[in-house]
Amino acid sequence: MKLLRIKAQGLPLFKQELDIIFYAQQRVCEDDKEQLHKLTPTIYLNPANAFIGINASGKTSVLKVIQLALSIVSNKPINHVDEKIILGSTKHAVFYIYFCDKNSKICYLETEITSKKTKTGEYKYTITQERLWEKSATGTKKTLTDFGNIAPASERDDNEMFLPDDVSFIIARNKKLNDDLEFVSLLSYTNVNILPFSDDIPLEIISFLDPTVEQLYFEQQEKRNHLHLKFRGEKEIVLNNPQDLENYLSSGTIKGIITFSMVKEVLQSGGYLLIDEIENHFNKEIVTTLMRFFMDSKLNKNGGTLIFTTHYPELLDEYDRNDSINVVRNRNGITVDNMSNILKRNDIKKSDAYQSGYLEGTTPAYEAYMQLKKSLAASID
């Protein structure tokens, strides 16, 4: 299963309908095909999708919406996933999720969600209505997500007594087709770097991040996990708590081991990897290496997809195209605009366009800058 597009309405933090497209919207030339994933003879997917914005623009909130949509189509109960928080106190939210299934059918799932406040003050979410449309994967990208003249193939039935009210009815279809959508989210690792237990930590990843490390592996003894660390020319160190690893390795190395281990898994499965603030603890070369792995069609044969947020406009210059980049802004509500709609030319340096304020809302307000400067000057005087 491959995600094509997500639209969402009724989310409290968003100013208007959210619309995120994962397929190539601009013209695809022969050179572009080396960096894209071919879905059909005319449709290509962007394998590395960037969401950029200034602080407090809403980038993390956008990732939570994407993760919730992924959870819905992968049969997860809404009330059991952390990203449900993005629904807030919504009275009526609707997710429109477009995807391509394993049989190359283009599908459109419409899921309506309501909330009810419990006695504990938390919100319980219920799927009140769902419909699913299907069609063959023919036509162009302009008609790819157009289902205007097609009747729904199936609808949620209130009599489905064994279906939980917070699980999408697409679960039955996925089981019948043996179709699934795998994704890994590193949102919880944005500010935390604790190495999870793993049977296999590839030495190639460790050597890339820190060539002084000779060995790093977990071992389970008497139901306890031990972490073995050895630097070249030094004695082995055995740790009982993975958190102690921060005393020996940099935060970047630890985060890198976690991230690149997940990259390996996602490239194998053709799934999705979500990373918030991708530059945290990493230098630019490590981040661009990560992006290039996904944008290399010879390496990324299964169409694995990277979805990340960043503050750093320099990363945008890694893209030859504009439609892999989304600009997030918060002006009395979060909005997301694809750069291909606001910057028509590919030959303009993207970082310059972003930093110059040409795109509007992508740099801190000048008035706020002057007020901060005056405040600092007054305190110094």
pLDDT tens for 40-49 read 888 999 999 9
Match 């064994």 to its residue by tokens: 162
What pLDDT does residue 381 have? 65
Q: Is the pLDDT of residue 108 over 90?
A: yes
Q: 347 to each of 219, 241, 320, how far by Cα in Å?
A: 52, 50, 8
In the chain, % of residues over pLDDT 90: 53
Residue 362 has pLDDT above 80, yes or no: no
pLDDT value for 252: 87
Given the DSSP bridges, would you call strands 183-185 and 272-275 parallel, antiparallel or unpaired?
parallel
Distance, in Å, from the CA atom of 66 to the CA atom of 44, rounded to the nearest integer, reads 20
pTM over 0.95: no
Listed range (86-95, 287-296, 322-331, 356-365) with the worst mean pLDDT: 356-365
CB burial of residue 91 (10 Å; 0-12, 13-18, 19+): exposed
> What pLDDT does residue 137 have?
83
Percentage helix, strand, coil for the chain under 3-state DSSP, each rounded to 5: 30, 25, 45
Give the three-state DSSP class for 301.
coil
Residues 239-276: tens digit of each pLDDT: 888 888 889 988 888 888 889 889 999 999 999 999 99
Instruction: pLDDT band for 331, please (50, 70, 90 cuts).
Output: confident
Looking at residue 105, its pLDDT comes to 93
Could you give phi then psi for residue 114, rounded to 5 degrees?
A: -120, 165
pLDDT at 274: 96
Alpha helices in the chain (DSSP H): 59-73, 170-177, 203-209, 251-269, 284-294, 339-342, 350-355, 366-380
Q: From edge to edge, which strands make up the β-sheet containing 334-338? A: 183-185, 272-275, 305-310, 48-52, 325-330, 334-338
Tell how far CA 341 is from the center of its chain.
Answer: 21
Check pLDDT > 90 for residue 55.
Answer: no
pLDDT grade for 193, boundaries at 50, 70 and 90: low
Residue 361 has pLDDT above 90, yes or no: no
- In DSSP terms, 106 is beta-bridged to 100, 135
* Cα–Cα distance measured from residue 89 to residue 25, given in angstroms and rounded to the nearest whole number: 34
Tokens of 140: 């162009």
